[in-house]
């Protein structure tokens, strides 16, 4: 789909190599020098205003990385509310400067979550946009991962790709639009969510403001990281749902010497094994995955869902009485989810002798199904990238992407995700980011937003 576009001249946007620096000043100086020495982009496919937008992005490459560093150096694990709020304050100041009206939305105290930062501009020109990022990371206060560690052309740090890099790209794209006079009369809502990595409960409360904003918008764009797939940059037109499930098995206990005898129990562990193996053998299909994450079984079992920890007591010569299993399920469409969930319930209910099961499943985030509207957004984003000399963008196979906040609004409007920074190792101690991807993705996003708000 428009995989090739005419480009008069294509130049590198970013830095191929930044020498390892001993201080922040040194690596920023290296970045600025390399940017100055890089050949200028010849943007014959862009309008004069769009060329001004690109120049505005490129002129702030150093400041963009400084903003990224400021935010990354603040630990903002989901369960560190003050850290989440501090990152919110940093970004709120940027949005205030850009003429947005900002507000902080607190969550009920019992949810133990920091809340969300929302910002709005009112206008009547073009599409009404909802731009989505998140303030929290998976790295809590006790994380051993350094907050900011520059290694040549990359930086390692807490949430640097997931997703403070994307947050900065969003802000810098808006700043470039404002400098070019292209924010006037636009309708844009910015949503920085404070609990994306561990959503508060009830989820209806945690995502109420996001859903309300979606209902007032035409298009949602989320700035999760850009994924390179088969050597090409991609964007996300579909994300699979995330559901959690729990299987509880109760069985008649007895002496293990009588197991399998007529009228005797097969025990809870064999019953759980039957259910799990039937899931594996009968439910596998494209875009469906499921996993049993924790299992405890024996004569007596304890398991705490809140802290995902349990224990068991039993003996090898006793038919086990109890099993608890927790897992997840992912699917791409609602129809697929309904079919698979119904089959799981059916399998769980076909009990072995002497056993009974209780199977619960709950959807944490709905699927973002690929739609014609999403494909149109991808096409416009790809053309924006190609016209700027940055190459075409391909759709990422939905099975390669985890859950995200955009899924909570996908029923209400056209959506595109995965337009943020490029990095690797998300959610691990080696999470890092390609420094040059900040400028590259900001150019793409700024032109894309400009074109959406002209329509």
Q: Are residues 317 and 443 in the same domain?
A: no
Domain closes at, from 348, 365, 382 = 365
- Residues of the chain with pLDDT > 90, as a percent, come to 85
Three-state SS sequence of 138-152: CCCCCCCCCCCEEEC
User: Residues near 329 by Cβ (< 8 Å), separated by ≥ 6?
Assistant: 241, 242, 243, 244, 245, 288, 289, 290, 337, 340, 341, 344, 361
Three-state SS sequence of 396-411: CCHHHCCCCHHHHHCC
What is the DSSP track for 21-57?
-SSHHHHHHHHHHHHHHSPPP--TTS-HHHHHHHHHH
Three-state SS sequence of 174-207: HHHHHHCCCCCCEEEEEEEECCCCCCCCCHHHHC
Q: Does residue 37 register a pLDDT over 60?
A: no
| 100 in any annotated domain | yes
| 1 in any annotated domain | no
* CATH value at residue 76: 3.40.630.10
Q: Are residues 393 and 267 in the same domain?
A: no
Q: Are residues 288 and 403 in the same domain?
A: no
Q: Is 84 helix (H, G, I), strand (E, B) or coil?
A: helix
Looking at every residue in the chain, the average pLDDT score rounds to 90
- Predicted confidence at residue 245, as pLDDT, reads 96
Q: Which residue has the higher pLDDT, 374 or 29?
A: 374
| 36 in any annotated domain | yes
pLDDT-derived band at 398 (thresholds 50, 70, 90) equals confident
Closest CA to 331 of 305, 370, 357: 370
Q: Are residues 74 and 173 in the same domain?
A: yes
- Predicted confidence at residue 401, as pLDDT, reads 82
Q: Are residues 291 and 408 in the same domain?
A: no
Give the total residue count for the chain: 455
- Predicted confidence at residue 399, as pLDDT, reads 80
Give how many domains the chain has, as a whole number.
2
Range of the domain at 44: 24-239+368-452
Q: Are residues 78 and 175 in the same domain?
A: yes
| 172 in any annotated domain | yes
Give the pLDDT mean for 396-412: 90
In angstroms, the CA 221 to CA 223 distance is 7
Give the pLDDT mean for 216-232: 96
Q: Are residues 37 and 112 in the same domain?
A: yes
* CATH value at residue 285: 3.30.70.360
pLDDT-derived band at 10 (thresholds 50, 70, 90) equals very low
pLDDT-derived band at 403 (thresholds 50, 70, 90) equals confident
Q: Are residues 72 and 198 in the same domain?
A: yes
pLDDT-derived band at 41 (thresholds 50, 70, 90) equals very low
In angstroms, the CA 41 to CA 12 distance is 8
Q: Which residue has the higher pLDDT, 45 or 416?
A: 416
Whether the CB-CB separation of 355 and 268 falls below 8 Å is answered with yes
| 404 in any annotated domain | yes
Closest CA to 126 of 446, 451, 419: 451
| 303 in any annotated domain | yes
Whether the CB-CB separation of 390 and 440 falls below 8 Å is answered with yes
Whether the CB-CB separation of 345 and 359 falls below 8 Å is answered with yes
Domain closes at, from 327, 344, 365 = 365
In angstroms, the CA 102 to CA 90 distance is 12
Least confident of 74-78, 115-119, 396-400: 396-400
Give the pLDDT mean for 122-128: 96
- Predicted confidence at residue 371, as pLDDT, reads 95
| 17 in any annotated domain | no
Q: Are residues 402 and 375 in the same domain?
A: yes
Q: What is the pLDDT of residues 240-298, one digit of tens each?
A: 998 999 999 999 999 999 999 888 899 999 999 999 999 999 999 999 999 999 999 99
Give the pLDDT mean for 434-454: 98
- Predicted confidence at residue 183, as pLDDT, reads 97
Q: Which residue has the higher pLDDT, 287 or 35?
A: 287
Cα–Cα distances (Å) from 387 to 16, 116, 390, in that order, read 21, 35, 7
Q: Are residues 180 and 235 in the same domain?
A: yes
Domain closes at, from 347, 365, 383 = 365
Q: Are residues 228 and 333 in the same domain?
A: no
- Predicted confidence at residue 27, as pLDDT, reads 33
Q: Does residue 5 register a pLDDT over 50?
A: no
Least confident of 99-113, 161-175, 200-214, 400-414: 400-414
| 150 in any annotated domain | yes
User: Residues near 216 by Cβ (< 8 Å), separated by ≥ 6?
Assistant: 128, 189
> Beta strands 219-222 and 125-134: pairing type?
parallel
Q: Are residues 163 and 221 in the same domain?
A: yes
């Amino acid at each position: 789909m428009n995989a090739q576009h005419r480009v008069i001249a294509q130049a590198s946007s970013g830095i191929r190599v930044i020498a390892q620096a001993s201080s922040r000043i040194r690596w920023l100086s290296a970045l600025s020098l390399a940017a100055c020495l890089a050949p200028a982009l010849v943007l014959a496919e862009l309008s004069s205003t769009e060329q001004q937008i690109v120049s505005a992005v490129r002129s702030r490459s150093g400041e963009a990385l400084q903003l990224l560093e400021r935010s990354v150096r603040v630990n903002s694990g989901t369960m560190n509310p003050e850290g989440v709020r501090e990152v919110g304050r940093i970004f709120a100041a940027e949005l205030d400067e850009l003429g947005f009206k900002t507000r902080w939305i607190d969550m009920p105290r019992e949810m133990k979550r920091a809340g969300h930062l929302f910002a709005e501009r009112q206008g009547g020109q073009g599409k009404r946009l909802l731009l989505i990022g998140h303030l929290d990371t998976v790295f809590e206060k006790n994380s051993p991962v350094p907050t900011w560690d520059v290694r040549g052309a990359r930086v390692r740090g807490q949430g640097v790709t997931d997703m403070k890099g994307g947050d900065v790209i969003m802000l810098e794209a808006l700043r470039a639009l404002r400098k070019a006079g292209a924010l006037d009369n636009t309708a844009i809502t910015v949503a920085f969510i404070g609990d994306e990595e561990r959503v508060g409960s009830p989820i209806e409360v945690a995502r109420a403001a996001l859903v309300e904003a979606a209902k007032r918008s035409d298009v949602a764009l989320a700035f999760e990281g850009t994924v390179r797939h088969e050597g090409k940059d991609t964007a996300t037109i579909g994300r699979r749902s995330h559901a959690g499930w729990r299987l509880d098995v109760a069985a008649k206990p007895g002496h293990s010497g009588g197991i399998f005898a007529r009228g005797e129990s097969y025990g809870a562990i064999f019953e759980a094994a039957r259910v799990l193996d039937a899931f594996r053998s009968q439910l596998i299909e494209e875009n469906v995955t499921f996993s049993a994450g924790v299992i405890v079984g024996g004569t007596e079992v304890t398991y705490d869902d809140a802290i995902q920890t349990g224990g068991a007591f039993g003996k090898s010569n006793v038919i086990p009485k109890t099993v608890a299993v927790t897992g997840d399920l992912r699917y791409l469409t609602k129809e697929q989810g309904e079919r698979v969930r119904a089959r799981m319930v059916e399998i769980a209910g076909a009990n072995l002798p002497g056993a009974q099961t209780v199977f619960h499943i709950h959807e944490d985030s709905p699927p973002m199904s690929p739609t014609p509207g999403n494909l149109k957004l991808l096409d416009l984003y790809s053309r924006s990238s190609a016209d700027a000399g940055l190459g075409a963008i391909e759709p990422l196979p939905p099975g390669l992407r985890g859950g995200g906040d955009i899924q909570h609004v996908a029923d209400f409007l056209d959506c595109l995700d995965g337009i943020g920074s490029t990095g690797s190792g998300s959610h691990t101690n080696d999470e890092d980011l390609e420094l040059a991807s900040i400028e590259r993705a900001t150019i793409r996003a700024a032109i894309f937003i400009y074109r959406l708000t002209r329509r």
